[in-house]
Amino acid sequence: MRLALFDLDNTLLDGDSDIEWSELLARHGAMDAARTHAYHREYEQGTLDIDEFLRFQLEPLAREPIERLLGWRREFLTNWIRPRISARARALVREHVAAGHVVVLITATNRFLVEPIAEELGIPHVLATEPEQHEGRFTGAVVGTPCYRAGKIAHLEAWLARRDARLEDVHESWFYSDSHNDLPLLSRVTHPVCANPDERLRAHASRSQWPTIHLRVADDAN
9 is catalytic: yes
Among residues 9, 14, 16, 182, the one annotated as catalytic is: 9
How many other C-beta atoms lie within 10 A of the C-beta of residue 59? 14
7 is catalytic: yes
| Residue 177, strand partner residues | 194
Among residues 7, 14, 16, 182, the one annotated as catalytic is: 7
* Helices assigned H by DSSP within 46-78: 50-63, 66-75
- Opening angle at CA 114, ends 74 and 188, nearest 5: 165
Longest dimension (CA), the chain: 50
Of the candidates 77, 108, 78, 97, the residue with the CA atom closest to the CA atom of residue 182 = 108
Contacts by 28-35, CB closer than 8 A, 24 or more apart: 28/72, 30/60, 30/63, 30/64, 30/72, 31/60
d(CA 183, CA 101): 22
Give, to the nearest 10 degrees, the angle between helix 33-45 and helix 17-27. 170
Strands 125-134 and 137-143: antiparallel
**Catalytically active residues, by annotation:** 7, 9
